[in-house]
């Protein structure tokens, strides 16, 4: 972020490159930042239906982590999204074939912590993302 700021460069985050819309392509003079190594699931809180993850977590990995508790993430219902990274899915507001029933990615994000171009850290808040498998049998 500091290099981009000092050189007035736009930043484009890159996940796994599985998107079809070219969201991970930087404009001329931009910088691509890969989240591939920021891939840890830091906490799973089943009681409150929350998970704390880094932006490079693979969609299928979070689904497998919550599956023993009767939950799933979008990876099970949208197989092409299985290798996608969560930050990229959020940035693209990924949907897929079950969007009408379960919403798009931004409907399933509780909060974000982001570093802004001026290097300050900002927080946002949203609603729950996990869905009990018992209420979504068609997924």
Mean pLDDT across the chain = 78
Ramachandran region, residue 58 (left: φ > 0; alpha: ψ -120 to 50; beta: rest): beta
d(CA 43, CA 131): 17
Q: What is the pLDDT of residue 44?
A: 93
Q: What is the pLDDT of residue 126?
A: 57
* Residue 134, both tokens: 């018992």
Given a cut of 80, whether residue 133 has pLDDT beyond it is no
Q: What is the pLDDT of residue 129?
A: 46
* Residue 61, both tokens: 């990995």
The SS3 call for residue 66 is helix
More confident residue, 57 or 88: 57
d(CA 27, CA 67): 39
pLDDT band at 115 (very low <50, low <70, confident <90, very high): confident
């Amino acid at each position: 972020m500091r290099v981009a700021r000092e050189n007035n460069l736009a930043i484009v985050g890159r996940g796994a490159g599985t998107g079809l819309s070219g969201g991970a392509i930087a404009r001329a003079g931009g910088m691509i930042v890969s989240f591939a190594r920021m891939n840890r699931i830091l906490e799973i809180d089943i009681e409150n239906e929350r998970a704390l993850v880094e932006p490079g977590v693979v969609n299928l990995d979070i689904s497998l982590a919550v599956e023993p508790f009767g939950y799933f993430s979008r990876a099970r219902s949208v197989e092409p999204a299985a290798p996608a990274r969560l930050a990229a899915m959020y940035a693209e507001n990924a949907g897929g074939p079950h969007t009408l029933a379960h919403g798009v990615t931004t409907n399933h994000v509780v909060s974000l912590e982001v570093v802004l171009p001026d290097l300050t850290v900002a927080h946002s808040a949203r609603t729950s993302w996990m869905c009990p498998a018992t209420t979504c049998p068609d997924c």
